[in-house]
Amino acid sequence: MPTGDRAVPGARLGAERRLRGLTKPELARRLVPHVTDQCPSLPTLISYLKRWEAGKTGISERYRFACAKALGMDAAELFGPPTPQASWPGVVASPGGPLRPGSVDEAGIIGDWDDMERRRLLLAALGIGAGAFSSGEPVRQLLDLALASELRSIEDWQLACADHLHALRTRPPAQVRDALIVDLLAIHRQLRLPDAGGNAELHRVVAALSTLHANVLTRLGDHGAAIHWWRTARAAADQSGDLELRLGVRATEAGHGLYGQRDPGTVLRLTQDARQIAGGAPSQGLALVVCSQAKAMTLLGRHPEALVTLNLYRDLAASSPVPGGIMPGYWQGGQLHFAENMVLAGTGDEPGADEAGRHVLASANPDYQVSTQVSLHNALCTVVKGGTAEGVRRAARVLDAVPPVFRSHMITETGKRVLRAVPVEQQQRAAVREFREVLTATAPGPRVLSSGA
């Protein structure tokens, strides 16, 4: 195989690995279950990855299949057909070049990346998946990014944030991720200009876009990459000097951490740290932090404390002025009623959880994922109250009704909470076994669930 032919698949593999925030050893460990015939040792797999990504050797069909499975993709999506990089204006192929894992981190936001680094980032984005090429629109935007000299106004960026928020609530997460990457590249380009580093409004935009990207990566289950993007969002919010935004980013980072991304105890510590930043004055940002704190206590089984914290959240939300700022619909998107639904479901308060859930479903900003989670919370509440069979059957119907392209890891994690609520002595009931099968079948990507989920 010619060197150039070997380089393209290796570059695509490396780009997908880095977009997920995976190291080579981490990806090698993911390969093991999918190399079904005489799997080599882990050190050998790591050496293979190094050679593939450097373009030194080709990737056989056997390993292409295993790599695609490990990354949750199809082999055709990951490896072919190759894109002729030399034909893209402004893009220079540089397989194996350095790329910051999963995000433009704190140094990358303002850093002085040279043109070659920007081109490498563009090349990585061009390999984000076959879905990006179906309409050609993300590719058109990337070409526009490489060629255009006109920069966007703050008003245009605010509109872009609103558009991405709408997409997050209504479109498949993989599609939202691909579109966000294009604008993240564009805002990085704009921040490299002289005097951009002191532009608080641009930093607000970076914080908002990075928050949305971390959100969608959490939905896709790319938790390592999501954590990198939460860090980017925090750094940008801090540099903006906007306290409400700083607290809002930290609150949503903590809330998303509860879906398999972090240990609930770690999430609780994050909220405690954020409350130190908030100070004593009531604010919407502080209310959002307290909201995430109540959710973490619920997952830790500290239900009396969760109820007390939920009441504090109600008081703070009611007494604080509603801030403006960037992307206000994200920070004020019905968090109170969703938190009430989640916390009250965990205590077995069926009337309270149902009432809060109805408020969420009647929201002016419906999110397909949130609506599904509310239904699963209500099923969990039934299980907590002792109605195991009825609760798991309700949860199974909810999961079955989600179209495959809209299935997310956050929905699956919410389903796991229903399974964990089933008493140990009832785990082998027929209805519970059937629910476990549905939970496995509807999970986005390969998952193995134990009896205790």
Q: What is the largest CA-CA distance in the chain?
A: 68
Q: Which residues of the chain have pLDDT under 50?
A: 1-4, 82-136, 446-453
The pLDDT of residue 341 is 94
Which residues lie below 8 Å from residue 100, measured CB to CB, with a gap of 6+?
Answer: 18, 108
pLDDT in tens, 310-335: 999 888 887 777 667 788 878 775 67
In a domain, 339, yes or no: no
The pLDDT of residue 105 is 38
Q: Give me the CATH number covering residue 74.
A: 1.10.260.40
Would you state the structure tokens that stand for residue 92, as one six-digit string?
A: 């220079």
In a domain, 53, yes or no: yes
Would you state the structure tokens that stand for residue 104, as one six-digit string?
A: 């433009």
In a domain, 435, yes or no: no
Alpha-carbon distance of 100 to 63, in angstroms, equals 25
In a domain, 365, yes or no: no
Q: Which domain holds residue 55?
A: 1-81
Domain tally for the chain?
A: 1
In a domain, 125, yes or no: no
Reported pTM:
0.69
C-alpha dihedral, 377 to 334 to 443 to 344, nearest 10°? -20
pLDDT in tens, 155-175: 999 999 999 999 999 999 988
The pLDDT of residue 54 is 87
The pLDDT of residue 147 is 53
The pLDDT of residue 89 is 29
In a domain, 30, yes or no: yes
The pLDDT of residue 356 is 92
- List alpha helices for 20-153, DSSP H: 24-31, 42-53, 61-70, 75-79, 106-110, 115-126, 131-134, 137-147
In a domain, 33, yes or no: yes
In a domain, 29, yes or no: yes
